[in-house]
Amino acid sequence: MTIVLALPAGTEISKNISKELSLEHHIITHKLFPDGESYLRLPRNIKGQTVLLVQTTFPNQDKRLMELILAADACKEYGANEVIALIPYMAYSRQDKAFLEGEVVSIRAVLKSLRSAGIETLITVDIHKEESLRYFDGKAINVEPWQVFANVLGSDVKEDALVIAPDKGAEKRAATLAREIGVNYVVFSKYRDRITGEIRHEYKDIKLEGKHVIIVDDIISTGGTVADIAKFVSERGAKKVYAVASHGLFVRNAVRRLRESRVDEVYVLNTVPQKENVKVLDVSPAVVNVLKELI
């Protein structure tokens, strides 16, 4: 039998999934010690069970990861048959390579730690680079959410809409979303100064007059990447600009920045808790499809 155990940042999606799959659902008891360390207690005997731990890892990435490590270790020690972790947003995934000598490859360290804590199967949603999952020495599944976006956007955008990937890394996302909606896509180039972090785009000279444009990315953090492209396409006559991203972190007034760059609609998933006034789509159906094959 599989039971779902929600960690402090995993309750919403875990409830949706448990309901859909008729799985027993519990919330792990969670407190903070006076010095800020986490105290967790498993809510029931899990001996011989398959446990699905659910926890996203933003905000408070380090805390959320540590809680996952503590919970996974406890599940194994108390005799769980298998530990599966559903991590809707995988923190540290953007540091997947040492660009400068001595830089850490954060996602490698994080995935190794999760595995050694006892997580045998990892499910995440639209991880920054799917190839990073090779660092996890177990079964790892990346849930593609494009159908969820296409279901909503498909009826809204015009036939001659255009999907734009801000950089080569987002090409597969743009291609898949464009195919699901039945429109074309283009890929821009993005260059980042590795010391200052500053970004610069190389645009394509394309006809944008009167078009609906969908800018797609995995993450919106400060909003700089999408805002830059939104400004370019609006200046060239795009009629309506959509920003579509799996994970809306929205730091440093990102949403205001998007609006000021003439983004009309912002769509994200519920992979992280959301306070901003944007459209949030439920990724649970895509996760449920994956889980049906797994458990």
DSSP designation for 249: -
Residue from 67, 144, 217, 265 binding ligand R5P (CB under 6 A): 217
How near is the Cβ of 128 to ligand R5P at its closest, in Å? 6
- For residues 137 to 166, the per-residue mask of contacts with ligand R5P, x marking binding by CB under 6 A and - elsewhere, is -----------------------------x
How near is the Cβ of 77 to ligand R5P at its closest, in Å? 36
Secondary structure (H, E, C), 112-167: HHHHHHCCCEEEEECCCCHHHHHHCCCEEEEECCHHHHHHHHCCCCCCCCEEEECC
* Of 73-81, 101-109, 177-185, 222-230: span binding ligand R5P (CB under 6 A): 222-230
**Residue 25, strand partner residues:** 4
Amino acid letter for position 59: P
* Of 28-36, 146-154, 214-222, 284-292: span binding ligand R5P (CB under 6 A): 214-222
Cα separation, 117 vs 233, in Å, equals: 46
Kindly give the pairing relationship between strand 189-192 and strand 199-202. Answer: antiparallel
Is position 204 annotated as part of the catalytic site? no
Residue from 123, 218, 255, 291 binding ligand R5P (CB under 6 A): 218
Catalytic residue among 190, 231, 240, 279: 190
Helix (H, G, I), strand (E, B) or coil at 96: coil
| Nearest in space to 118 (alpha carbons), one of 19, 171, 50, 208 | 50
> Applying CB under 6 A, does 222 fall inside the site for ligand R5P?
yes
Residue from 8, 10, 88, 223 binding ligand R5P (CB under 6 A): 223
Is the Cβ–Cβ distance between 241 and 234 less than 8 Å?
A: yes
Helix (H, G, I), strand (E, B) or coil at 32: strand
> Applying CB under 6 A, does 57 fall inside the site for ligand R5P?
no
Is the Cβ–Cβ distance between 64 and 273 less than 8 Å?
A: no
Kindly give the pairing relationship between strand 279-281 and strand 265-269. Answer: parallel
> Applying CB under 6 A, does 281 fall inside the site for ligand R5P?
no
Considering the complex, state which of residue 88 and residue 166 has its C-beta at the smaller distance from ligand R5P: 166
Residue from 15, 94, 231, 236 binding ligand R5P (CB under 6 A): 94
* Of 40-48, 65-73, 118-126, 221-229: span binding ligand R5P (CB under 6 A): 221-229
Q: Which residues bind ligand R5P (CB under 6 A)?
A: 94, 128, 166, 169, 217-225
| Residues belonging to the active site | 190
